Amino acid sequence: MTEKFAVRSALSTTPAYIPGKPPQAVEGIESYKLSSNENHLPPLPGLTDVIAAAATTPALYADPAVSALTAELAAHLDRPAEMILFSAGASEMISALANITLEAGTEVVYPWPSFEMYPQIASLRGATHRRIGLTEDFRHDLDAMADAITDSTRLVFLCSPNNPTGSAIRTDEFEQFMARVPQHVIVVLDEAYREFCTDPEAVDGLTALDAHPNLVLVRTFSKAHGLAGLRIGYAVADPEIILELRKAVLPFAVTAVAQAAARESLSRVSEVEVRAKEIAATRDELIAGLREQGWDVPDSHGNYVWLPLDAKSADFEQACLAAGIAVRNLQDGVRISIGPDASMRRVVDIAAEFRARYH
């Protein structure tokens, strides 16, 4: 930690978030960024016109209450508006949840590997980490997570589908887990990739919310809706939790452009869902192609595939970069976002050559 400036001691143990690398240019071939789980499909027809129209008054603040979008989402989810709160992406909501629960002397429980912001936000608040490794088949070890909860636990993160491994939490195991969680402990179900999930047994957060007032759903317009660059996410929770979260999210953080784009996309949610399932089909094809080569690839329900390479992760990342593909090296493995068909074919070719060289 720097000695030149007076900063919080918690920063000495706080990792900085490292974004996915861009691809490097390779002469003669098109490069693809498959490192950030972005939606590679073009915007919904007409959406850019809506965005342009909303950007005509940049000097004015956006509606801080996100009133129109909140009302429309409440109607779509069939929940009262008092249960919904928007933020500048799901990441801001995750940070806000930490702000209302964590401080020195408290504990947070989360799976690992999972979303990289969980340890970052826990460290910033000075909280103690209870980092629970995944099972051998790359799923949440919910029994171990429940065992890790103590009197000091204030927050639990679950991620379904899990980023980066793609596993979805099933309803029966979720309910068994929640039965062991004290009702005063807030449990966050991060559902950023829910629209890509094709597991019929996966827990539905909205249904689970009715039985568990300590549950908070965190969702986003970044992934399936393809609005990552506009930063708009939201929470669905008990109104008392939402009331506290309002104190922790930044005012005016959700721009007018983001609100307009999300309203348009929500009004066409059936199209969004169809496109998400198209991406899921491409994902399953990629998994099948890698498995045919002999790779041990777990089932995925996000818009990405996890390749558990352990010590070979860096070598695979470099092989991809040399071929104009950027993937996400997370040390334990490599996460490959779903992209255009041509990029998927190239990934399969890279994997085949890599396996022939290193196995």
What pTM did the predictor assign? Answer: 0.95
Question: CA-CA distances (angstroms) from residue 279 to 46, 218, 273?
Answer: 21, 21, 10
In tens digits, the chain (359 residues) has pLDDT values of 456 888 888 888 887 777 777 888 788 899 999 999 999 999 999 999 999 999 999 999 999 999 999 999 999 999 999 999 999 999 999 999 999 999 999 999 999 999 999 999 999 999 999 999 999 999 999 999 999 999 999 999 999 999 999 999 999 999 999 999 999 999 999 999 999 999 999 999 999 999 999 999 999 999 999 999 999 999 999 999 999 999 999 999 999 999 999 999 999 999 999 999 999 999 999 999 999 999 999 999 999 999 999 999 999 999 999 999 999 999 999 999 999 999 999 999 999 999 998 86
β-pairing verdict for 128-133 and 84-87: unpaired
Can you give the pLDDT at residue 2?
52
* Residue 12: Cβ within 10 Å count: 10
Peptide bond into 161 cis (omega under 30): yes
Q: CA end-to-end span of the chain, whole Å?
A: 42
Can you give the pLDDT at residue 289?
98
Please choose, from the candidates 113, 183, 181, 155, the residue with its C-alpha nearest in 3D space to the C-alpha of residue 248: 155
Tokens 């669905």 correspond to what residue? 236
Please choose, from the candidates 140, 139, 178, 147, the residue with its C-alpha nearest in 3D space to the C-alpha of residue 130: 147
Tell me the two tokens of residue 342. Answer: 């041509």
Can you give the pLDDT at residue 6?
82
The sheet carrying 304-307 orders its strands as: 304-307, 334-337, 328-329
- Domains in the chain and their CATH numbers? 19-37+270-358 (3.90.1150.10), 47-267 (3.40.640.10)
Tell me the two tokens of residue 14. Answer: 């706080």
Instruction: Measure the CA–CA gap between 230 and 19, rounded to whole angstroms.
Output: 17
